[in-house]
Amino acid sequence: MLVGKMMIDVPISQQDLDNWLKDLNLVAEISNSKAILIAWNAAGELSSMLSSDSAAGSEIQALLCHLSSNHSAKTLPNATLSAATSSIATQSKAVSSNTTSTLSSNTFETSVDAQLAQEQLISPNESISVLPRLAHHQITSSLSVSELTELVSQSQLIIDTRQHSDWRSCSSIGSVICLSLAWPSGANFGFLCFYHHEAQGVDSKTLRLAKLISDSIQHRLGEILSQHSAAEALSRGAPSNIDTVDLQSFIDSFEEHIWMKNAAGIYTLCNRSVEKAWEMPRSEIVGKSDAELFGEDIANIFLEGDRLAIESGMPIIVAECLDGGETKNHLWLETLKLPTLNPHGEFVGVIGMTRNISKHKAVEEQLTLATNVFKNSVEGVVVTDRHGNITDVNGAFFEITGYVRDELIGQNPRIFSSGRHDKAFFDKLWNALLANGKWNGEIWNRRKNGTIFPQNITISTIYDEVGDVRYFVAVFADISAQKENEAQLTHLAYFDPLTHLPNRMKFMMQLKQEVRQAKRLNLQLATVMIDVDLFKHINDSFGHSIGDEMLVELAKRLRSQVGDQDVLSRIGGDEFVALISGIDNSEDATVAIHQLRQVFEQPFIVSTGDHLRLTASMGVSLYPSDGTDADTLLRNADAAMYRAKNDGRNNYAFYTESLTQQSFEHLKLQSALYGAIEQNALYLMYQPKLDLVTRKTVGFEALLRWHDPQLGLISPAVFIPVAEKIGLIHEIGLWVLETACRQGIRWLSEGKHFGRIAVNVAGQQLQRSSFVDDVKRVLAETGLPAKHLELEVTESVMMQNPDLAIRDLKRLGDLGIELSVDDFGTGYSSLNYLKKLPIHKLKIDQSFVRDIPFDTNNTAIAKAVIALGHALKLDIIAEGVETKEQADFLQQNQCDQAQGYLFSRPQLPEDLDAFLS
Ligand SMILES: Nc1nc2c(ncn2[C@@H]2O[C@H](COP(=O)(O)O[C@H]3[C@@H](O)[C@H](n4cnc5c(=O)[nH]c(N)nc54)O[C@@H]3COP(=O)(O)O)[C@@H](O)[C@H]2O)c(=O)[nH]1
């Protein structure tokens, strides 16, 4: 059975109020008590208040406060309580504005004064203010009328409030009767109280009288409701009987499920949608209860919704979820439940209109899920509008970037720019994003604290219904740790953990790359395999940790001996391999080997304090002569190394055996050259230079000679390049200059005229920044006037760095030294530079002098050089003149000077008297 306690909004006439007040006064008088009637409208507002004693305001207030505080103390937290007095006054105003419920003379007055009086009357005084305050909403909604009535009916007759736990605090009331008043349907109307300030003041007789009045009022309420319903129906012009067939057709036309249950909860009506949804015909639905149709669990859910609607007395919307079991989806229903009354105001049942909102719920669930994913994602998420302005970011984003929300909303993501990517990168990104709707890649961005970090980021375009760009969503992960791990793994994969040198795999990659480049640029390479001799003995005798120490130190030493462009790798326990690039021939490789071998000259001082010595065997293969691919080069270097080992260790070998021989020669030469100066093995010879017209001596060229006790006479054409390679050329060059200058001084002191002594300057000498100062110092130290000195610099050296040459040669020229371009015609001279160079003379290379005047090419070149030199106002000297024909030709073609075997071979100074005047 459904129980209805709805609020009913039917106005009460003044006449009825007056009559009820009279009854109240009468009983109050008979029983020597005070009476009060309080009524509510459908909105839960105080609509009528009748009192037998207009002066009993504080008692009424206490009564109200007591009832409400009693309730609110149980159900409402104090924090929800708000100032009450004005609210009660407002209620009074609502009462006064209702003309049908105007209060009689001994009710509260409706005039403004009376309202004010009432406001004062129910304003909190000292004693009341300690009670919880009564707010409008507490009476009207939080403390519902039904609850209040329930409280009232529970305490029908309290003869001594001090003995009653609920009433003990209400000190102004000694005894009280409270009766609830209801409409015929059971809906609350209000309540009736008789009270006395003393205990026992209200007795059972008063109770009987009160019940009489209560019954009378309730009876009258039934009549009022009937009259009101009839009048309403009349004014609407509604038919008294609804045609049920038409009604059925009407409700069948709705998609929603429409049904009606009577007061007993039995279905009396349903539409076609219900039949379809419940998969049963109307005949099986009508006449049955929810429990009969659906079983107890579902029935309870439906009945709970009905109960809420009936209790509230108003249409309500309830959402009901029916469990679809494990295999099926839940069914979500949203039902508008409307409690209905008959014309007599009696509850007759509930009308329901149900929609299936499962789809809506599913979308809602998806949204909740998406929101939670967004919030809780460990990846940073940033959303921008189509202009790129940030509209949302998630928590992970803050954690990763260090920004807070307010700093980001409305900003453009370019504030994270690290500067690592150029415009072309972002152009590509945007093109992909706009063309494909998606872009994924790695970006370096900047945190708020300025540090930059790598992200793996996916940017997606979100379009609206018409396909226009609405948002961009970027989801990214900070991959700093991943990058570090990758770098560590790469290092582990490609580098030796002990020495941190590239390992075999890395070496092979580099070797392959170098071979490709050497092929392209026509270069040569040397691969040097280095195997430490008998390293096992070190490990066995001193332990592996000492062995490791020595390998680390050895790696360091070897690394310091190879160039920045060269590669040094540890490919095995005691095996290293060096890749030397930028070599022109096997001699260059020999020089590199010599340098590598030097690292074994010093002992290795290990942590035990021991001074240990190592030697190594080395094998060399050259690209392209010993192999044109990486594998072959390494294999052949290895084979050469084994040959060196077999030859007694502490040795080296070229893969091509003849090169090994050459290399040994070269090394011998190299070693011998180191001691040549100290051993006085170097000396100078002088070759006269003559004026071609007068045939008089104009000078001598100083030519270096080396006679080694073991190796014999060695040509400067052989040892000067070696001296350059091993860095001895500066020392040797200075010795030549000093020796030539001293010879000049000697001749001067002997009164011999020699013109100028010409000294050859190697390229490396000129490149040295101290060269000009060195020359000045030698002139100063020897005392030779600069006008007796000439320096010969080859054309190719001058043109290597013409700007530097111009600067230094000018300084030398300013001293009074004459400058000649040696081997002219063998290199490429820029005429532009040539005319800027502070030079005095061009020397036609002997290769062009040979066979003139018979060789037409050389003849033409010689003529051209003479013409060019003269055009630049330079003297021309021809070298290597061996025949009279050559001399005649040169003379006829205005060549100024000549030197060569025709006139004299290079000779010792004491043999040159014939050329000195
Ligand atoms: N940096 C230095 N280079 C030097 C020095 N001394 C010599 N050199 C250079 O070595 C190259 C070889 O020199 P050399 O063997 O001395 O040969 C010179 C002459 O002896 C030779 N010559 C002279 N006349 C004739 C000839 O009629 N026929 C012929 N076949 N050879 C002849 O020519 C060389 C001249 O050299 P240069 O005038 O310098 O071109 C050589 O390049 C020397 O420059 C030194 O102290 N420092």
User: In whole angstroms, what is the distance from residue 565 CA to residue 805 CA?
Assistant: 27
- Asked if residues 124 and 41 have their Cβ atoms less than 8 Å apart, the reply is no
Please give the distance, rounded to the nearest whole angstrom, from the Cα atom of residue 906 to the centre of ligand 1.
9
Q: Is 410 exposed, middle or buried (0-12, 13-18, 19+ CB in 10 A)?
A: exposed
User: In whole angstroms, what is the distance from residue 154 CA to residue 180 CA?
Assistant: 10
By alpha-carbon position, which residue is closest to atom 33 of ligand 1? 880
Encode pLDDT of 255-299 as tens digits: 888 999 999 999 999 999 899 888 899 999 999 999 999 888 889
At 347 the three-state DSSP class reads strand
Spatial strand order of the sheet with 567-570 comes to 567-570, 575-583, 524-532, 616-623, 652-654
Amino acid at 172: S
Structural Rg of the chain based on CA atoms: 59
Encode pLDDT of 191-249 as tens digits: 888 888 888 888 888 888 888 888 888 888 888 887 887 777 677 665 555 555 578 88
Q: Tell me what pLDDT residue 124 has.
A: 28
By alpha-carbon position, which residue is closest to atom 41 of ligand 1? 717
Instruction: List, as own/partner pairs, every contact residues 452-461 make where C-beta atoms lie below 8 angstroms and the sequence separation is at least 24, other chains included.
Output: 452/418, 452/420, 453/400, 453/478, 453/480, 454/478, 454/479, 454/480, 454/483, 455/380, 455/479, 456/482, 459/429, 459/433, 461/433, 461/434, 461/437
Q: Tell me what pLDDT residue 647 has.
A: 81
Please give the distance, rounded to the nearest whole angstrom, from the Cα atom of residue 725 to the centre of ligand 1.
19
The CATH classification of domain 495-666, taken from the options 3.20.20.140, 3.60.70.12, 3.40.50.2300, 3.30.70.270: 3.30.70.270
pLDDT at 61 over 90: no
| Other CB atoms within 10 Å distance of the CB of residue 706 | 23
User: In whole angstroms, what is the distance from residue 611 CA to residue 602 CA?
Assistant: 9
Ligand 1 atom, smallest distance to 733 CA: 47
Where are any strands of DSSP class E within 747-788?
Answer: 756-761
With helix as H, strand as E and coil as C, how does 815-852 read?
HCCEEEEEEECCCCCCHHHHHHCCCCEEEECHHHHCCC
| Other CB atoms within 10 Å distance of the CB of residue 692 | 21
User: In whole angstroms, what is the distance from residue 381 CA to residue 471 CA?
Assistant: 13
pLDDT at 505 over 50: yes
Ligand 1 atom, smallest distance to 704 CA: 6
By alpha-carbon position, which residue is closest to atom 30 of ligand 1? 880
Eight-class DSSP state of 266? B
Q: Tell me what pLDDT residue 29 has.
A: 86
Counts for the chain of helices (H) and strands (E), in that order: 34, 31
Q: In CATH, what number does 244-361 get?
A: 3.30.450.20
DSSP 546-588: HHHHHHHHHHHHHHHHS-TTSEEEE-SSSEEEEEEEEE-SHHH
Ligand 1 atom, smallest distance to 899 CA: 24
Q: What's the pTM value of the predicted model, to 2 decimals?
A: 0.46
Q: How confident is the model at residue 595 (pLDDT cuts 50, 70, 90)?
A: very high
Q: Tell me what pLDDT residue 65 has.
A: 67
Look up residue 808 and give its two tokens. Answer: 């230094």
By alpha-carbon position, which residue is closest to atom 46 of ligand 1? 704
Q: Length of the chain, please? A: 917
User: In whole angstroms, what is the distance from residue 488 CA to residue 480 CA?
Assistant: 12
Q: Tell me what pLDDT residue 150 has.
A: 54
- Asked if residues 899 and 846 have their Cβ atoms less than 8 Å apart, the reply is no
Please give the distance, rounded to the nearest whole angstrom, from the Cα atom of residue 822 to the centre of ligand 1.
10
* Most informative mutation of 879, 890, 899 for ligand 1 (most atoms within 8 A of CB): 879
Give the residue, 380 or 4, on which the prediction is more confident.
Answer: 380
Could you check whether 377-484 and 495-666 share the same CATH topology?
A: no
Look up residue 865 and give its two tokens. Answer: 């050089």
Please give the distance, rounded to the nearest whole angstrom, from the Cα atom of residue 769 to the centre of ligand 1.
26
Of 226-235, 391-400, 666-675, 832-841, the range with the lowest mean pLDDT is 226-235
Look up residue 528 and give its two tokens. Answer: 């040097």
Q: Give the closest residue to 527 by CA, choosing from 610, 593, 473, 459.
A: 593
Helix then strand then coil, % of the chain, to nearest 5? 45, 25, 30
Q: Give the closest residue to 387 by CA, choosing from 407, 416, 411.
A: 411
pLDDT at 607 over 90: yes
Q: Tell me what pLDDT residue 875 has.
A: 95
Q: Give the closest residue to 849 by CA, choosing from 840, 859, 838, 839.
A: 859
- The span from the first CA to the last CA of the chain, in angstroms, equals 153
By alpha-carbon position, which residue is closest to atom 7 of ligand 1? 703
Beta-carbon-side half-sphere exposure of residue 318 (alpha carbons within 13 Å): 20
At 599 the three-state DSSP class reads coil
By alpha-carbon position, which residue is closest to atom 31 of ligand 1? 880
Q: Tell me what pLDDT residue 165 has.
A: 74
Q: 654 to each of 287, 498, 565, 579, 847, how far by Cα in Å?
A: 112, 29, 22, 14, 34
384: β partners: 390, 472
438-446 and 452-463 beta bridge pairing? antiparallel
By alpha-carbon position, which residue is closest to atom 18 of ligand 1? 703
CATH superfamily placement of domain 377-484: PAS domain (3.30.450.20)
Q: In CATH, what number does 14-232 get?
A: 3.30.450
Task: Give residue 563's Cα distance to chain centre.
Answer: 38
Encode pLDDT of 682-696 as tens digits: 999 999 999 999 999
Which class is 677-848+908-915 in CATH? alpha beta
322: β partners: 331
Encode pLDDT of 737-794 as tens digits: 999 999 999 999 999 999 999 999 998 898 888 899 999 999 999 999 999 999 999 8
- Asked if residues 737 and 759 have their Cβ atoms less than 8 Å apart, the reply is yes
User: In whole angstroms, what is the distance from residue 133 CA to residue 413 CA?
Assistant: 54
Please give the distance, rounded to the nearest whole angstrom, from the Cα atom of residue 717 to the centre of ligand 1.
8
Element (H, E) at 912: none
Please give the distance, rounded to the nearest whole angstrom, from the Cα atom of residue 647 to the centre of ligand 1.
39
Task: Give residue 7's Cα distance to chain centre.
Answer: 63
pLDDT at 73 over 50: no
Ligand 1 atom, smallest distance to 729 CA: 1
Q: Tell me what pLDDT residue 652 has.
A: 92
Where are any strands of DSSP class E within 718-860?
Answer: 756-761, 789-794, 818-824, 841-844
At 34 the three-state DSSP class reads strand
Q: Is 329 exposed, middle or buried (0-12, 13-18, 19+ CB in 10 A)?
A: exposed
pLDDT at 15 over 80: yes
* Percent of the chain clearing pLDDT 90 (strictly above): 46
User: In whole angstroms, what is the distance from residue 640 CA to residue 618 CA?
Assistant: 7
Beta-carbon-side half-sphere exposure of residue 26 (alpha carbons within 13 Å): 10
Look up residue 860 and give its two tokens. Answer: 């033409």
Please give the distance, rounded to the nearest whole angstrom, from the Cα atom of residue 703 to the centre of ligand 1.
6
Give residue limits of the domains in the chain: 14-232, 244-361, 377-484, 495-666, 677-848+908-915
40: β partners: 46
| Other CB atoms within 10 Å distance of the CB of residue 453 | 18
Please give the distance, rounded to the nearest whole angstrom, from the Cα atom of residue 712 to the centre of ligand 1.
18
Kindly list the protein residues whose Cβ atom lies closer than 6 A to any atom of ligand 1. 687, 701, 703-704, 715-717, 720, 736, 760, 762, 792, 822-823, 846, 879-882, 899-901, 906
Q: What angle do CA 530, 535, 537 make, to 5 degrees?
A: 165
By alpha-carbon position, which residue is closest to atom 12 of ligand 1? 717
**For residue 171, which phi and psi values (nearest 5 degrees)?**
-70, -25
Ligand 1 atom, smallest distance to 882 CA: 27
Helical spans, DSSP H, in 328-422: 358-376, 395-401, 405-408
By alpha-carbon position, which residue is closest to atom 20 of ligand 1? 906
User: Residue range 856-871: average pLDDT?
Assistant: 91
User: In whole angstroms, what is the distance from residue 282 CA to residue 273 CA?
Assistant: 10
* Most informative mutation of 689, 703, 771 for ligand 1 (most atoms within 8 A of CB): 703
Q: How confident is the model at residue 324 (pLDDT cuts 50, 70, 90)?
A: low
User: In whole angstroms, what is the distance from residue 156 CA to residue 63 CA?
Assistant: 14
Q: What angle do CA 255, 258, 263 make, to 5 degrees?
A: 175
Please give the distance, rounded to the nearest whole angstrom, from the Cα atom of residue 662 to the centre of ligand 1.
24
| Other CB atoms within 10 Å distance of the CB of residue 402 | 14
Of 82-86, 481-485, 533-537, the range with the lowest mean pLDDT is 82-86
User: Residue range 654-678: average pLDDT?
Assistant: 83
User: In whole angstroms, what is the distance from residue 189 CA to residue 175 CA?
Assistant: 23
| Other CB atoms within 10 Å distance of the CB of residue 61 | 23
Please give the distance, rounded to the nearest whole angstrom, from the Cα atom of residue 687 to the centre of ligand 1.
9
Q: Helix 504-521 vs helix 480-494: angle between axes, to the nearest 10 degrees?
A: 80
- Asked if residues 569 and 504 have their Cβ atoms less than 8 Å apart, the reply is yes
By alpha-carbon position, which residue is closest to atom 3 of ligand 1? 760
Q: Tell me what pLDDT residue 646 has.
A: 82
